[in-house]
Chain A
Amino acid sequence: METLAMHISNGIVNGPVAAVFAAFALAVLTLCVLRGRRDLDDRLAPMAGLVAAFIFAVQMLNFPIFTAGVSGHLLGGALAALLVGPWVGALCVAVVLVVQALVFGDGGVAMLGLNVTNMAVLGTAAAYLLIALLLRVLPRTPAGLAVTAFVSALVSVVVASQGFVLQYWLGGTTDLGGNLAGLAGTMAGVHLLIGIGEGLITATTVVTVAKVRPDLVYALRALRPAAPAPVVPVAGGAR
């Protein structure tokens, strides 16, 4: 049962529920496309591509936990939200999922809506809400940023895994009876561990990028508290 950490494949959740979530995912992604177009400039376009490539690469790292039966992978929603913002970030994760489903057979094509909802929509949304909150509360130091990245990554992974539990509860093809709570617990436990790994990777990556090229971190640009720039006096005042 712990083996669910890979993307949902065909036949796990029934058709109608998959269709509902596909419609939901499509609607959210349409919004992301509309909002993301405004964000995507010359700096963000290559960044979005690299973030997607990075997520693609780390998702290939299907690492075993404890025993051979238990495996999970990183999701990357928090990294995407931090570096390219929630809209483009969700699109990046969704693109990764679509390509994986189309050519790698990882995650059924018919279940794409479920996977996109969990990892691209729920994961990125949870991460970005936390990022927006924590960056305002925590001190604006590398440590503060590291904590923000770590916590948002951890929570987003667990939230995404619980998204699957909700979907299975709504339309799982097999009635697990009272085992659903067990499923929720296992998913949360496994993904807590994955989340710690994901949090560490996200924090290291984002802090390094923020130190060298702070202009590349979307969250730092977008959430800068009322820019102090206009206060700078213009010498001479010649206008």
Chain B
Amino acid sequence: MGAGHAHVLYREATSPVHRLPPEVKIAAMVLFTLAVVATPRTAFWAFGGYALLVAAVAALARVGPGWLLSRAAIELPFVLFAVALPFLGAGERVEVAGLALSVDGLLGGWNIVAKGTLGVLASLLLAATTTTRDLIVGLDRLRCPQIVTQIATFMLRYLDVLVGEARRMRVARVSRGDDPRFLWQLRGFAAGVGALFLRAFERGERVYLAMLSRGYSGRMPAVWQGAGAASAGQWLVGATVPLVAAGIAATAVALT
């Protein structure tokens, strides 16, 4: 736990994207996603443009395509839904390889796969280049209400507490002769879930009180936030991605 609070998706590296202040990255990512979603689904070329944009940022951030694609598997359930749509959709049908598929369903499925994938890739790039601590700092600088950043801070902090406590309880169970295998682990886990919660809370409460006694007042000290807020130049650099995306989206809307 001592070694910083980097999450599993963070990729330790130095790159221009890593060095960009977090608030710039968050804003760019959100705006990029909005531009993608606003694009008409029939403007196929536009999605190619977005994919190129994502690839360019990934290359800048030194994030390999293999890493990105394997992490993007989180999206799979929605891909399945998208595959089902051509069969379920209503309206006009088209014959593809002997199957009568709904045109609307095909477009809808494409819509979900394309926009969903681009969104997932964008957030993965954000995650790969931003530590959780920076993420909170970024949200704080974007004028997120303090109560929200506070809950988020404690959530990320206590995740480690929760996981550590669960591991301790499992070791305790095993060392007392429990032999959990596969699904039967669930029974022991379910029986202990209340205890786990309480133990994690009591540990978390001590963490909180220790923080209070060291002067915590609902907001992390300025030192913790590292370098200062983004400069105008950094905002401009960060704005290139959403601006290009917005340009593509506007052209696509105008053309269709």
Taking Cβ atoms with an 8 Å cutoff, the residues of A that contact B are 1, 3-6, 9-12, 15, 18, 33, 36-37, 40, 42, 45-50, 52-54, 56-57, 69, 71, 88, 91-92, 94-96, 98-99, 101-106, 108-110, 173-179, 200-201, 204-209, 212-213, 216
Identify A45's interface contact among B77, B84, B124, B208, CB under 8 A.
B208
Determine how close the nearest CB of chain A comes to the CB of B136; give it in whole angstroms.
9
| B229 on interface, CB distance cutoff 8 Å | no
A91 touches B148 (CB 8 A): yes
Please report the C-alpha to C-alpha distance between residue A212 and residue B201 in the assembled complex, in whole angstroms: 12
Determine how close the nearest CB of chain B comes to the CB of A65; give it in whole angstroms.
12
Please report the C-alpha to C-alpha distance between residue A169 and residue B86 in the assembled complex, in whole angstroms: 18
Identify B89's interface contact among A47, A53, A69, A175, CB under 8 A.
A175
Q: In terms of DSSP, what is the predominant structure of the interface of chain A? A: helix
With a CB–CB cut-off of 8 A, which chain B residues contact A1? 81, 84, 88
Please report the C-alpha to C-alpha distance between residue A3 and residue B85 in the assembled complex, in whole angstroms: 12
B85 touches A174 (CB 8 A): yes
B88 touches A176 (CB 8 A): yes
Please report the C-alpha to C-alpha distance between residue A200 and residue B84 in the assembled complex, in whole angstroms: 32
B151 touches A92 (CB 8 A): yes
Chain B 204-237 residues near chain A, CB threshold 8 A: 204-205, 207-209, 212, 218
Chain B CB within 10 Å, residue with most, of A12, A200, A213 = A12
A208 touches B197 (CB 8 A): yes
Name the CB-closest residue of A to B211.
A46
With a CB–CB cut-off of 8 A, which chain A residues contact B30? 109
B116 touches A50 (CB 8 A): no
Q: Mark B21-39, 1 if CB is under 8 A from A, else 0.
A: 0000010011001101110
B77 touches A3 (CB 8 A): yes
B119 touches A108 (CB 8 A): yes
With a CB–CB cut-off of 8 A, which chain A residues contact B153? 49
Determine how close the nearest CB of chain A comes to the CB of B35; give it in whole angstroms.
9
B158 touches A109 (CB 8 A): no
**A10-B208 CB under 8 A given contacts A40-B147, A52-B152, A178-B90:** no
| B242 on interface, CB distance cutoff 8 Å | no
With a CB–CB cut-off of 8 A, which chain B residues contact A50? 154, 158, 161-162, 197, 200-201, 204
Please report the C-alpha to C-alpha distance between residue A5 and residue B78 in the assembled complex, in whole angstroms: 9
Determine how close the nearest CB of chain B comes to the CB of A112; give it in whole angstroms.
9
Please report the C-alpha to C-alpha distance between residue A10 and residue B75 in the assembled complex, in whole angstroms: 10
Please report the C-alpha to C-alpha distance between residue A208 and residue B26 in the assembled complex, in whole angstroms: 39
A to B CB contacts below 8 Å, 24 in the list: A1-B81, A1-B88, A9-B78, A10-B37, A18-B37, A37-B147, A42-B212, A49-B150, A52-B152, A56-B159, A92-B151, A99-B155, A102-B29, A102-B127, A105-B74, A105-B120, A108-B37, A108-B119, A174-B89, A175-B90, A179-B90, A200-B190, A201-B190, A208-B195
